[in-house]
Amino acid sequence: MENRPLAIYGTPLSSRLLVGTAQYPSPAILAEAIKASGAEIVTVSLRREAGASRSGESFWSLIRELGAKVLPNTAGCRSVKEAVTTAQMAREVFATSWIKLEVIADDDLLQPDPFGLVEAAAILVRDGFNVLPYMTEDLVLAEKLIGAGCEVLMPWGAPIGSGRGLNNPFALQALRRRFPHVPLIIDAGIGTPAHAAAAMELGYDGVLLNTAIAKAGDPVSMARAFALAVEAGRLAYCAEPIPPRDMAEPSTPQLGRAFADLPRRA
């Protein structure tokens, strides 16, 4: 299978790892971790900073220096109106029509609101946005979002920040098979590089994560580990792994053995 480059809304990417920018111990570690990850897209949340203090200017300056494409998100939004307004503000602040759309319905699991997500996506697509929706691993929801104009889908692996990995591999694999030509990026729940590799081995096009790097004991080394895992998982998928078997299959042929089992005499 050919290992084709990933393209999101017409933008080709050499890296399949997308990285968040929150919760790092320091700006310096954030910068080094993103460099180590090789990520070409970083997610940022819009914050309502006081205009006079310009308190967020140093952070945005750091992000620009990294040379990565900014993907604003609507993190924390609980309604369609709030998500749409936040996206419109982010477009003005970051000068991009890309938006990672989040409409959250549950405070404990931070699970997306499927109804609000589809409604907000349709509004934003009509307004000229390139929407990357954060969603559950639901086939019907995926159909509705594609119908609303989304060209990329971002199903969760597990709840945000949980580090549980892929809670429902069967449903994620079903999504991949149903939409073979739609870029699918696992977003949320990834805790270790092994989780990221597993997602890529399912045929997913990329992985977006934040907490697993930012809160690691050594964020820079962890970022590098995730970059290698994503690459390894993609190569493994394209190499077409052997299917699982119920019985053993010897790797060494029986023919040519030095000793053969002879029938015992009575």
CA distance 108 to 129: 29
Among 52, 20, 256, which Cα is nearest to 161's? 20
The number of residues in the chain equals: 266
| DSSP SS3 for 213 | helix
- In 45-64, which positions are buried (b, 16+ CB within 10 angstroms) versus exposed (e)? bbeeeeeeeeeeeeeeeebe
Cβ neighbours, 10 Å, residue 240: 8
CA distance 152 to 167: 21
How is residue 190 written in tokens? 């990834």
Classify strands 11-13 and 41-45 as parallel, antiparallel or unpaired: unpaired
Residue type, 237: Y
How is residue 93 written in tokens? 């602040």
- Residue 144 is a catalytic residue: no
How is residue 52 written in tokens? 């006079």
Catalytic residue among 35, 69, 81, 100: 100
Q: Which residues are catalytic?
A: 100
